[in-house]
Amino acid sequence: MALSGKKVCMIVDFTYEDLEVCYPQIRLEEESATVIKVSLHKPGTKVTGKYGYPVLVDKHIGEVSAADFDCVICPGGFAPDYYRRDEQMKRLVAETLAQKKPVAAICHGPWMLCSAKSESGNPVCSGVKVTAFHAIKDDLENAGAIFVDEAVVCDQNIITSRTPKDLIPFTLAIIAALK
């Protein structure tokens, strides 16, 4: 299979956008990638999305590093407001990009790109074309990102999308980046 041996980190926390976790996970697993759900909560914790879909945490953020994964996905919903405050989560995203590996973020997930800092101390989205849910456009632009209103935007190993309606092109872009 196309993505056999690839490991993908899916960041999860309570009130994630259900479809933004479920759809990419199913599609990536269909391509034989391994999806590992990483959280601020201990392994085995059942976290639920905004609409009640449950997933089990595989790893606590303290147990992983960027070297463990080929890609990191930051789903949206309300969860990014929690995990973007955690230093270990921010470091995971920044180190993944520093290792020239893709980071994908959808809906409110690109908030992580504002909070994670590059080695220069700037937000990792600074100078990068991105898209997201329209409500966080100002946050991204204030962090130095170049906001583009398109279904999916790929720039400098960062893959972004706006909403669940963009999940097909978003997930296809992740699959293409991992091949």
Catalytic residue positions? 107-108
Q: 87 Cβ partners below 8 Å, 6+ apart?
A: none
Beta bridge partners of 56: 46
Q: What is the DSSP letter of 42?
A: P
Q: What is the distance, to the nearest Å, from the Cα of residue 114 to the centroid of all Cα atoms in its chain?
A: 12
Q: Are 163 and 134 in contact (CB under 8 A)?
A: no
- Other CB atoms within 10 Å distance of the CB of residue 11: 26
**CA 119 to CA 160: how far, in whole Å?**
21
Q: Are 102 and 133 in contact (CB under 8 A)?
A: no
Q: 169 Cβ partners below 8 Å, 6+ apart?
A: 151, 152, 161
Please identify which residue in the block is written with the tokens 């009640």. 52
